[in-house]
Amino acid sequence: MFRWLLREETNIANISSPIELFSKNTQSFIYNNQVNATQRMLDFDYVSGRQTPSVSAIINPTGADSFARFFFGAREILIPMYKTIEKAAKMHPNVDVMVNFASFRSAASSTEEALAISQILTIVIIAEGVPERSAKLLRAKAKSLGKVIIGPATVGGVKAGCFKIGNAGGTIENIIESKLHRPGSVGFVSKSGGLSNEAYNIIARNTDGLYEGIAIGGDTYPGSTLLEHLIRFENIPDIKMLVCLGEVGGNAEYEIAEAIKSEKITKPIVIWVTGTCSKAFKTEVQFGHAGAKAGSDVETADAKNAALRAAGAIVPTSYDDYDQKIRETYERLVKKGTIKPKPEPSVPKIPMDYAKALKEGLIRKPANFICTISDDRGEEVLYGKMPISEVFKKDIGIGGVLSILWFKRQFPAYAAKFIEMSIMVTADHGPAVSGAHNTIVAARAGKDLVSSVASGMLTIGPRFGGAIDGAAQLFSNAYDRGLTATQFVEEMKKKGEPIQGIGHLIKSIHNPDMRVTIIKEYAKKHFKATPLLDFALEVEKITTAKKDNLILNVDGCIGVCFVDIMRNEMSKQEADEYVHMGALNGLFVVGRTIGMTAHFLDQKRLKQGLYRHPWDDIAYMTE
């Protein structure tokens, strides 16, 4: 799969390591769920013309086995997630790279775990602050196994047109601008991830582009060195020139100078050691990275640049000339025929993410849902146009809140009070009615609160609570058609239909329902007008003349009174729309939820077991 390079080390002899770390078929694991970095790798794959994504799986040690959704071009794909590296390796034996986004606390242990898996050949450690002793041990172990570690404290690297590590190279726009979607002729290595991204752009503007770029990381003891990657590049035929950025501190650049002198590096190399400004400071200065600190004159940037220049490297006079030296070297190689520029391939266009496009105002999309009653996007939730703090300052009560949310206007105080009265009188009709009965049965059977109350709520209909809307519709329709109370009763009789809102099992004209009495008296005293209530009371006179329990019941009284309220506070057309939508049954839903919850809690307090009917509660029909 790889071509391998034998190298001699001071303390480890003849250990083999790969020359080519990545190819267009490289597959990787991402350790820790890094959504943005993973998507950037997949976008790079797509513009590079890869047929398969470079990320095979995500290892999420704090999660469970599952899948994560990403985009590969315009197509949505699922990438499996595993809890352990071992399981991921077993499920994906073709993976040989792990990009380790573990924190500095667990980076060493997770890297050791990956090193123990034979198929994983390259590990990239992103975390900064990995203990130096751990970094040394990891490097030694990787060398003994013929594996490569990039990092710690690295952004990673890019093999142009083949494979990108995490966030290396930046956004997809920068990737294309820096021509990283196709291979060039330059091999680049540095310590700094930030400077490497800048260097990719410089290389793209002054050469035919990057072949491979690696940021080894800024820690004092990196898993692989500048020289090791330059030697790799020396042995890759498609790389025609080398570019490097060193930095103050350490002796890595002297190793490069010795390699140039001994002709281990024969390709032209443009190199600059940053930190020459340190001589302007009277005291010792550390430049960002843990290793960027000169402990002696020999570790200064000026001394290193001089040594590299003397060894035969192409060293600019300052960083300002860095791009010029790169361009001059490239043009010489083109003139010699060493590099033959190729035409630029077409670049597939990456679809813009919906959220980004929407934020930038590039697209518009109809909403799946429209809400006109509330808004929770600001500093505080709005009920209609009223901030929640104002709801309490003005003390509009439950009735006021309900009027805003249901009818998109704040009803006056008399109407808000009526809403609260309606909820109060519908809260409970006792344990015998169907809704309470079902709630009790479910509670005794061990069901939870929501399930028990839902069981009771499902009984709401024309015979139980639904009569509020039914009564409102029947009475308002008859009234609007100009029928008299007698004509209405006769019409319903001919249809063979009961009048919803009329009739009670227990109460009668002689034993009135106090709830109806309270509602009628309040309406007569506070409403602007009560034409529909008056019509219903005329109907009651006719029906009770036939049978004394055919009274206007609580559902009917609430229904007709609410129509009177709505027609007083909005247009008749809008009021009728709410009646036909079935809005008024919502009063019963709100009130009865209170009662059913009470029945549930009552049964739980009683701690009765599974509900069973006694034998004498069941009638058995054998005919």
| Contact yes or no for 292/275 (Cβ under 8 A) | yes
- Give domain status of residue 166, yes or no: yes
CA atoms within 13 A of residue 424's CA, in its CB half-sphere: 13
The CA–CA distances, whole Å, from 152 to 108, 173, 317 equal 9, 27, 31
- CB atoms under 10 Å from CB of 567, counted, come to 19
Residue 493 backbone phi and psi in degrees, to 5: -65, -45
| Contact yes or no for 259/230 (Cβ under 8 A) | yes
For residue 13, what pLDDT is reported?
33
Query: With bands split at pLDDT 50, 70 and 90, how would you rate the model's confidence at 455?
Result: very high
Q: What is the mean pLDDT of residues 587-595?
A: 91
| Contact yes or no for 294/248 (Cβ under 8 A) | yes
Q: Does 275 share its domain with 423?
A: no
pLDDT digits (tens, 9 = 90+) for 459-482: 887 776 668 989 999 999 999 999
> Which of 529, 581, 588 is CA-nearest to residue 559?
588
244 pLDDT more than 70: yes
Q: What is the mean pLDDT of residues 394-408?
A: 95
How far apart (Å, rounded) are the C-alpha atoms in residues 52 and 359?
30
Q: Does 332 share its domain with 439?
A: no
Q: What is the mean pLDDT of residues 209-229?
A: 95
How far apart (Å, rounded) are the C-alpha atoms in residues 347 and 195?
25
Q: What is the mean pLDDT of residues 400-422?
A: 95
How far apart (Å, rounded) are the C-alpha atoms in residues 324 and 328?
6
Q: Does 84 share its domain with 200?
A: yes
Q: Does 487 share its domain with 588?
A: yes
CA-CA-CA-CA torsion sign (130, 134, 135, 138): negative
Q: Does 202 share its domain with 320?
A: yes
Total tally of structural domains belonging to the chain: 2
- Give domain status of residue 617, yes or no: no
Query: With bands split at pLDDT 50, 70 and 90, how would you rate the model's confidence at 8?
Result: very low
Helix (H) or strand (E) holding 88: helix 85-91
Query: With bands split at pLDDT 50, 70 and 90, how would you rate the model's confidence at 1?
Result: very low
Query: With bands split at pLDDT 50, 70 and 90, how would you rate the model's confidence at 519?
Result: very high
Residue type, 311: A
Helix (H) or strand (E) holding 75: strand 75-82
Q: Residue 502 sits in which domain range? A: 414-606
> Which of 183, 156, 207 is CA-nearest to residue 48?
183
How far apart (Å, rounded) are the C-alpha atoms in residues 488 and 490?
5
283 pLDDT more than 70: no
DSSP states of 293-315? B-SSGGGSHHHHHHHHHHHT-B-
- CB atoms under 10 Å from CB of 328, counted, come to 16
Domain boundary among 336, 367, 390: 336
Q: Does 107 share its domain with 231?
A: yes
Q: How far is CA 59 from the centre of its chain?
A: 18
Domain boundary among 293, 310, 336: 336
Helix, strand, coil % (nearest 5) of the chain?
45, 15, 40
Three-state DSSP class for residue 186? strand
- CB atoms under 10 Å from CB of 388, counted, come to 14
For residue 620, what pLDDT is reported?
58
For residue 366, what pLDDT is reported?
83
Q: Does 325 share its domain with 438?
A: no
- Give domain status of residue 454, yes or no: yes
For residue 226, what pLDDT is reported?
97
- Give domain status of residue 51, yes or no: yes
How far apart (Å, rounded) are the C-alpha atoms in residues 188 and 193?
12
CATH no. for residue 13? 3.40.50.261
pLDDT digits (tens, 9 = 90+) for 308-367: 999 999 999 999 999 999 999 999 999 999 999 999 999 888 888 888 888 888 888 788
- Give domain status of residue 363, yes or no: no
Pairing of strands 163-164, 186-190: unpaired
Pairing of strands 4-7, 97-100: unpaired
DSSP code for 149: E
Residue position matching structure tokens 């480890």: 12
Q: Does 332 share its domain with 418?
A: no
Please list the alpha-helical segments (H only) found in 146-291: 172-177, 193-206, 226-234, 252-261
DSSP code for 150: E
Domain boundary among 295, 315, 336: 336
- CB atoms under 10 Å from CB of 487, counted, come to 12
**Among 289, 429, 504, 599, which one carries the catalytic annotation?**
289
End-to-end CA distance of the chain: 84
Residues with Cβ < 8 Å from 13, sequence gap 6 or more?
none
Pairing of strands 4-7, 75-82: unpaired
Across the chain, mean pLDDT equals 90
Query: With bands split at pLDDT 50, 70 and 90, how would you rate the model's confidence at 433?
Result: confident
Query: With bands split at pLDDT 50, 70 and 90, how would you rate the model's confidence at 294?
Result: very low
pLDDT digits (tens, 9 = 90+) for 48-106: 999 999 999 999 999 999 999 999 999 999 999 999 999 999 999 999 999 999 999 99
Active site residue 289: yes
| Contact yes or no for 165/137 (Cβ under 8 A) | no
CA atoms within 13 A of residue 447's CA, in its CB half-sphere: 19
Q: Does 51 share its domain with 190?
A: yes
For residue 616, what pLDDT is reported?
59
- Return the ∠ at Cα 425 (arms to 422 and 431), rounded to 5°: 135
| Contact yes or no for 423/587 (Cβ under 8 A) | yes
Three-state DSSP class for residue 510? coil
- Give domain status of residue 343, yes or no: no
pLDDT digits (tens, 9 = 90+) for 92-144: 999 999 999 999 999 999 999 999 999 999 999 999 999 999 999 999 999 99
| Contact yes or no for 596/453 (Cβ under 8 A) | yes
- Give domain status of residue 619, yes or no: no
pLDDT digits (tens, 9 = 90+) for 596-622: 999 999 888 886 555 555 555 556 555
Q: Does 81 share its domain with 202?
A: yes
Three-state DSSP class for residue 92? coil
Q: Does 497 share its domain with 583?
A: yes
DSSP code for 349: P
Q: Does 161 share its domain with 285?
A: yes
Cβ-count burial 414-443 (b if 16+ within 10 Å, e if not): bbbbbbebbbebbbbbeeebbbbbbbbbbb
How far apart (Å, rounded) are the C-alpha atoms in residues 471 and 501?
5
| Contact yes or no for 265/237 (Cβ under 8 A) | no
| Contact yes or no for 611/452 (Cβ under 8 A) | no
- Give domain status of residue 616, yes or no: no
For residue 288, what pLDDT is reported?
52
296 pLDDT more than 70: no
220 pLDDT more than 80: yes
Residue type, 42: L
How far apart (Å, rounded) are the C-alpha atoms in residues 186 and 173?
21
Token representation of residue 79: 């990438």
Q: Is cis: bond before 152, omega within 30 of 0?
A: yes
Length of the chain: 623
- pTM equals 0.68
How far apart (Å, rounded) are the C-alpha atoms in residues 591 and 562?
15
Name the least confident of 66-80, 157-171, 202-216, 280-294: 280-294
